[in-house]
């Protein structure tokens, strides 16, 4: 059986946002999930840098590919900090969390 090499799917996020922002209600909905999208984006970048498939990350975490797919999708399935730590370790990263005071208007 030939060995399969991981090849990330190219995604132009800026172009996606430009097109999607034309849809009614998109801007408000996207803003409401801004943190979730930022975390998902970091996860995808970390996995791509490590050159790993979802299957490999799942194996390292002792879970399934579908669970990794849900973790990497922003929105419904917000991962716990413990899960993020396990994911980070699986892709060779560490987690940094920072609380930033909100600006008073």
pLDDT tens across 52-71, in order? 999 999 999 999 999 999 99
Confidence category of residue 6, pLDDT binned at 50, 70, 90: low
Confidence category of residue 30, pLDDT binned at 50, 70, 90: confident
Q: State the average pLDDT for the chain.
A: 89
Looking at the predicted structure, is the pLDDT value of residue 12 above 90?
no
Q: Which fold has domain 13-90?
A: 434 Repressor (Amino-terminal Domain) (1.10.260)
What are the residues whose beta carbons fall under 8 Å from the beta carbon of 13, sequence distance 6 or more? 41
Task: Check the CA dihedral 73-16-90-96 and report its sign.
Answer: negative
Q: What are the extents of the domains in the chain?
A: 13-90
Structure token digits, residue 7: 């090849």
The answer to whether residues 73 and 40 touch, using CB atoms and an 8 Å cutoff, is yes
CA distance 5 to 26: 36
Looking at the predicted structure, is the pLDDT value of residue 98 above 60?
yes
């Amino acid at each position: 059986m030939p060995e399969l090499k991981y090849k990330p799917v190219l995604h132009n996020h800026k172009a996606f946002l430009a097109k999607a922002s034309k849809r009614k209600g998109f801007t408000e909905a996207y803003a409401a999930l801004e943190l979730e999208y930022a975390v998902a984006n970091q996860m995808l970048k970390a996995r791509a840098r490590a050159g790993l498939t979802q299957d490999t990350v799942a194996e390292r975490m002792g879970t399934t590919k579908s669970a990794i797919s849900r973790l990497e999708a922003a929105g419904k399935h917000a991962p716990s900090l413990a899960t993020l730590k396990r994911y980070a370790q699986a892709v060779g990263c560490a987690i940094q969390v920072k609380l930033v005071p909100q600006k008073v208007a």
